[in-house]
Structure 1
Amino acid sequence: MSRSVKVWDVPTRLFHWLLVGLVGAMWYTGQQGVLELHIRCGVLLLALLVFRLIWGVVGSQTARFSDFLRGPAAIRRYLAGDVSHAGHNPMGGWMVLVMLTVLLTQVGTGLFASDVDSMLYDGPLAHLAGGAAETMTAVHKLGVNILLLLVALHLAAIVFYRVVKKEALVPAMVTGRKALPYGVTPPFFAPVWRAALCLAAAAGLVAAILRFA
């Protein structure tokens, strides 16, 4: 037996869908060579990622890294049929960490990258990279392919869970609710004002780095 339980808070859901939109916008603007808009989207994405790192420490239970980053034993139990996870399962939790790491690397290298072809637009911190700007640009371009692969794996996982496990992941990230067994304790949620403070801190940190670096 199961019942519908709220598992995802509003800040986490907003982060997810804003991330989808920004990654899509950055891919498109990068492909089309609209580099000024590409850089602006990158700065917004960096602030969003910094917010997620902070929220992963002080946010709601299912948003915290301590809730979904588990060791090999938890992964084995999950593969054996353990479904007592309100938020991310152990495998999905590590996928979140990989995705965040790749995105941070992508944004970080973009800050120091230099458009050596047109010489029109450089990353906001390209002046600090010196001779390493070309390397940063190469890593940034390679990272696009890695990110696209991760996105494809993520979409494949969504289809797998829907078809094989009969679990709809997308509606849960829209409504915040999913079906859980009665034995699973509902997660706790942090207040929205805390998320607002985290977002303000993230935006302020990114703005300070770009202004004073």
Structure 2
Amino acid sequence: MKQLPSKTRIWDLPTRLFHWALVVCVVGALVTVKLGGNWMQWHLNFGIATLALLVFRVIWGLVGPRYARFSSFLPSIRAAWGYLCQASTAGTRQAGHNPLGAWSVYALLGVLLLQASTGLFASDDIMYQGPLSVLVSNDLVAQLTSVHKLGELVIFSLLGLHLVAIALYTIKGHGLVGPMIHGDANSQHLTTGTLPAQDDWRVRVGALVLAALLACVAWWLANAQFGVILS
């Protein structure tokens, strides 16, 4: 009888690199905005890098390996409630994001997309001016700046819930951090018949090309002088 592998690849390398790069950029943006002053240029750079990463994740959620695709963890209130009711008794878990995790991912991606996008138009009239703020009216800049400031509180709340969920799963013996580092989950902890995610050179080269293109756009956005162009 053929022995089943003890480990199953769940998270492909591009998804894992995206996750940790996003952590660095979000933390960097939150820290630099609190430092203020000359650090606001770094806040802008972290924000643009965050936006590029989020666009990568959206595209990767459409064309990436099975567990990275949005179609594998569509948000469902019924599924989330059923999962919550059975979570304490289930001995195995599904690969990828569970129904509750799906809501967390969509919430974080949505809020961060809004935050990074509004940051391009925000201005404090002192040390910071988003690169696209010169393209819209002062009234709209003020409105988007207010949304951007409010979004910071929402992000702190979602990150707090995210960390609590990670801690609870770790206590229950279903660590989430390890698989997001090395990509593999214990096959015994997964439902029967779980298939591994594709994570070969073709996946990685495709992700590298996409990331390089988005990095070029991010660099251009960070260095473009829209005010000079308009004048």
TM-score, reference length from structure 1? 0.89
Distance 1:71 1:2, change over 3 A: farther
| d(CA) in 2 for partners of 1:146, 1:32 | 20
Aligned position for 1:195:
207
Q: Deviations over 1:147-176 (max 9, x none)?
A: 00101000000111111x211111111111
Which residue of the partner structure matches residue 144 of structure 1?
Answer: 152
Offset at 1:45?
Answer: 1.1
- Structure 2 residues without counterparts, runs of 5 or longer: 227-231
CA distance in 2, matches of 1:97, 1:9: 19
Q: 1:84, CA displacement in angstroms?
A: 4.3
Q: Which residue of structure 2 aligns with residue 6 of structure 1? A: 9
* Counterpart contact for 2:56–2:210, Cα < 8 Å: yes
**How far apart, CA to CA, are the structure 2 residues paired with 1:209 and 1:40?**
10
Q: 4+ runs of 1 displaced by more than 6 Å? A: none
The alpha-carbon deviation at position 73 of structure 1 amounts to: 4.1
User: 2:36 aligned with 1:24, yes or no?
Assistant: no
Measured after TM superposition, the shift of residue 85 of structure 1 is 1.5
How far apart in 1 are the matches of 2:45 and 2:77?
39
2:197 is paired with a residue of what secondary structure?
Answer: coil
Q: Which amino acid aligns with 2:18?
A: F
> What CA distance in whole angstroms lies between the structure 1 residues aligned with 2:44 and 2:20?
19
Which amino acid counterpart does residue 31 of structure 2 have in structure 1?
Answer: Y
Are the equivalent residues in 1 in contact too, given 2:93–2:191 (CA < 8 A)?
Answer: no
> Are 2:108 and 1:99 aligned?
yes
Residue identity opposite 1:124 in structure 2: P
1:72-83 matches, within 5 Å, as 72-79=77-84, 80-81=86-87, 83=92
Amino acid at match of 1:162: T
Are the equivalent residues in 2 in contact too, given 1:84–1:184 (CA < 8 A)?
no
1:102–1:147 CA contact under 8 A, matched in 2: yes
Partner of 2:131: 124
- The answer to whether the Cα contact below 8 Å between 2:94 and 2:191 also exists between their aligned partners in 1 is no
Structure 1 runs not aligned, ≥5 long: none
Quote the offset at 1:185 in angstroms.
Answer: 2.0
Is this contact kept in 2: 1:49–1:104, CA < 8 A? Answer: yes
The answer to whether the Cα contact below 8 Å between 2:11 and 2:96 also exists between their aligned partners in 1 is yes
Q: Which residue of 2 aligns with 1:85?
A: 94
Q: What secondary structure sits across from 1:193 in the alignment?
A: helix
When the two structures are superposed, what TM-score results if normalisation uses the length of structure 2? 0.82
Contact kept, 8 Å, 1:86 with 1:184, in 2: the verdict is: no
Alpha-carbon deviation of 1:178?
Answer: 1.1
Per the TM alignment, residue 15 of structure 1 is displaced from its structure 2 partner at its CA by 0.6
Quote the Cα distance in structure 1 between the aligned partners of 2:26 and 2:19.
11
Q: Deviations over 1:36-70 (max 9, x none)?
A: 11111111111111101000000011110001114
Q: Are the aligned partners of 2:65 and 2:198 in contact in 1 as well (CA < 8 Å)?
A: yes
Deviations 1:14-42 (A, max 9, x none): 11111111111101110011111111111
Identify which range, 63-72 or 202-211, moves more after superposition.
202-211
Distance 1:154 1:206, change over 3 A: same
Residue 185 of structure 2: SS of its match in structure 1?
strand
Counterpart position of 2:40? 35
CA RMSD of aligned residues (A): 2.3
**Cα 1:25–1:94, aligned 2, differ >3 Å: closer, same or farther?**
same
